[in-house]
Amino acid sequence: MNEKNNTGPIWISAGEASGDMHGALLTKALKRLEPTMELVGMGGPAMREAGVDIRYPMQLISLVGITEVLGGLPKILKLLRDVRKNFERIRPRAIILLDCPDFHFRVVRIARKLGIPVYYYISPQIWAWRSGRAKFLRDNVRKIMCILPFEKNFYATFGMDVDYVGNPLVDQVPTAELDKLPVDEKHIGFLPGSRNKEVGTLLPEFAETARRLLAKDKDLHFTIIRAPGMSKERLMDIWPADVPISCAEPESRYEVIRSCKFVLAASGTVSLECALIGTPALIAYQVSPMSYRIGKLVVNVDFISLPNLILGKEVFPEHLQDMASADGLTRSALIWLNNRDIFDRVKGELERLRTMLGEPGAPDRAARIILDDLKTV
């Protein structure tokens, strides 16, 4: 498969809810530039709705932590063999990957052997750990497109000139409309994540936090915001019946987040969505003890949440491992409920962050870079 292929489909692959959202925006941008384009690959409901023929649901690789990935390795290896067969059968003219390096780097190796050009959009967060993998990308990927302002300088240290296209959340989050909506000072939201394991770990702690806060203020009310692919039944099975709760659908998540004084959220892209919306978040993160111990040895950054990394300070309190408990979360929540000065300083930092993520149009810029480069392959 080394001859130039101008007619085959483009394969696009995302492995989690945020990648599915970004993949959908990129798909729409590609189709605006080339309306007859066929896209196939791995993703979720947003990419499917945007027009991608989903051959593999992204849940197949939605794993958290080192030991969790190792436990799922036999299934992942079988999936990779199947992906290769798909590449050989449909002969994609290009492959676009979104984040998920543990899986997608293996896809890169398959593509290289088959002579298929690879583009990385939403570049993997290798600046956080195992930064030497930048050399692998330099040697095997035609174009890397970054969405965080500090990533371009990181890659430059490896002699790489990557494209900073801005952050697609600037397009996705309708900040001007949301700014007009009122905030309910008694409303607290919960974003427990999109993966079964993190929901099962974090949601009981969120529920106990809600119970304790309600004992302090009976006027508080709570909403779980369901992630795409996570069933309402699963959430309600975990949430205790004696703590009143509403459940919001993914389509209304931005309006619901905006209506909250603050939210408790699993670590991930949602923290940056909250920051853009202007709603403070308490961040929670738990993995297996072994994953955490290994991570402590290899992680190169001071924070786990994107707003803190971009701002260079802990604006959103981070609750890791044992601190991601009702004890730690309740203490932080009560500070924000009872100390207006501290809370207002957080809000001020979120206004500053909005100015740091580039202009709208990131998916369109990325689509143009990919299609222009394909003309030279």
- If asked whether residues 79 and 145 sit together in one domain, one would say yes
> Which domain CATH number covers 46?
3.40.50.2000
Average pLDDT value over all residues in the chain = 90
- If asked whether residues 340 and 369 sit together in one domain, one would say no
- If asked whether residues 151 and 271 sit together in one domain, one would say no
What residues pair up with 121 in beta bridges, in sequence order? 98, 145
Question: Does 4 fall in a domain?
Answer: no
- Tens digit of each residue's pLDDT (9 = 90 or more) over 235-246: 999 999 999 999
pLDDT > 70: what percent of the chain? 91
Helix (H) or strand (E) run with residue 211 in it:
helix 196-216
- If asked whether residues 199 and 162 sit together in one domain, one would say no
Q: Given pLDDT bands bounded at 50, 70 and 90, which one contains residue 268?
A: confident
- If asked whether residues 346 and 216 sit together in one domain, one would say yes
Question: Does 316 fall in a domain?
Answer: yes
- If asked whether residues 299 and 153 sit together in one domain, one would say no
**Do 339 and 332 touch, CB atoms closer than 8 A?**
no
Q: How far apart are alpha carbons 197 and 72 in whole angstroms?
A: 13
- Tens digit of each residue's pLDDT (9 = 90 or more) over 341-367: 999 999 999 999 999 988 899 999 999
- If asked whether residues 158 and 185 sit together in one domain, one would say no
Q: Given pLDDT bands bounded at 50, 70 and 90, which one contains residue 2?
A: very low
Average pLDDT over residues 89-96: 96
Q: How many domains does the chain have?
A: 2
User: What's residue 185's pLDDT?
Assistant: 97
- If asked whether residues 319 and 180 sit together in one domain, one would say yes
Res. 193: pLDDT tops 60: yes
Question: Does 31 fall in a domain?
Answer: yes
- If asked whether residues 154 and 180 sit together in one domain, one would say no
**Do 107 and 95 touch, CB atoms closer than 8 A?**
yes
- If asked whether residues 190 and 152 sit together in one domain, one would say no
Average pLDDT over residues 164-175: 93
Q: How far apart are alpha carbons 303 and 285 in whole angstroms?
A: 11
Which residue bears the tokens 């044992």?
Answer: 322
Query: Rounded to two decimals, what is the model's pTM?
Result: 0.80
- Tens digit of each residue's pLDDT (9 = 90 or more) over 194-229: 888 899 999 999 999 999 999 999 999 999 999 987
Q: What residue numbers bound the domain in which 269 lies?
A: 175-354
